[in-house]
Amino acid sequence: MPLLDPTLIFPVTHPDGRVSRTTVYLKNIIDHPRMEIGDYSYYTHYGKLAETAEILAPYLFTGSHERLVIGKFVQIARGSYFVTSSANHPMSGITTYPFRIFKPETFGYNDLPVKDTVVGHDVWIGHDAVIMPGVQIGAGAIIAASSVVTRNVPPYAVVGGNPATLIRMRYTDEIIAELLDLAWWDWPIEKIEANLQALETGDLEALKKA
């Protein structure tokens, strides 16, 4: 079996040989000065390939200052997207009308604090989720389908709803600390694949010896 190839654009080939054109490794198709995306992180969407960055983060346009940082092995389902800081209209005055976006020389102006959005490694973002500005999602977290995530999500938490609240923690605090320390996502792909069974079954003892 060949190893997972992080350089592919379309990493999913069906058993009948058909290559899925809707699941893409983001790193290989997005070239955006304020998006940082780790290896093996994928997004499923049905839009045009060239529009992937816009579909994923529609407000990270020219003149915006915030960043979107996505770790490795992040799984982003169809319909999910990031509403980043520049999406916010000014709220401290009388009007929220964004007068300044209609003139190129003032387009990037916004008196609101800029907050980066950060998604940790191995996060699973379910179908149709919306991640709001400045949210930080810890490694191994799960975002339930159709959630609106307005607050930070701790590592290995499962959150859901609008606004998203904690459904459950996937592991105890002690195990989460061990998993973060293990950082399997930083292993070479050969080591990851050699230890797939332990990763899939949650055999932490085997992983610690790997």
Whose CA is closest to 170, among 160, 182, 155, 156?
A: 156
Q: Which is nearer to ligand COA, 107 or 124 (CB)?
A: 124
CA-CA-CA-CA torsion sign (157, 161, 162, 166): negative
Question: Exactly one of 141, 142, 179, 192 binds ligand COA (CB under 6 A); which one?
Answer: 142
77 binds ligand COA (CB under 6 A): yes
Angle among Cα 200, 206, 208 to the nearest 5 degrees reads 110
Round to whole Å and give the CA distance between 200 and 3: 17
Residues in the chain: 210
What is the rounded CA–CA span in Å between residue 66 and residue 61? 10
Closest to ligand COA by CB, 159 vs 192, is 159
Binding segment for ligand COA (CB under 6 A), chosen from 62-70, 96-104, 112-120, 142-150, is 142-150
* Among the listed residues 66, 60, 79, 59, the one whose alpha carbon sits nearest the alpha carbon of residue 147: 79
45 is catalytic: no
Amino acid letter, 48 = K
Least distance to ligand COA from the beta carbon of 124, Å? Answer: 7
Residue span binding ligand COA (CB under 6 A) among the ranges 15-23, 50-58, 160-168, 196-204: 160-168
The number of angstroms, rounded, from the C-alpha of 160 to the middle of its chain's C-alpha atoms is 16
With respect to ligand COA, which residue has the nearer C-beta, 70 or 144? 144
Q: Please give the size of the binding site for ligand COA, defined by CB under 6 A.
A: 12
Per-residue mark of binding to ligand COA, 164-193 (x: CB under 6 A): ---x--------------------------
Least gap, CB of 210 to ligand COA (angstroms) = 27
DSSP string, 157-179: EEEETTTTEEEEESS-HHHHHHH
Catalytic choice (45, 89, 121, 127): 89
| Interface residues toward ligand COA, by CB under 6 A | 77, 126-127, 142, 144-147, 158, 160-161, 167
Residues assigned a catalytic role: 89
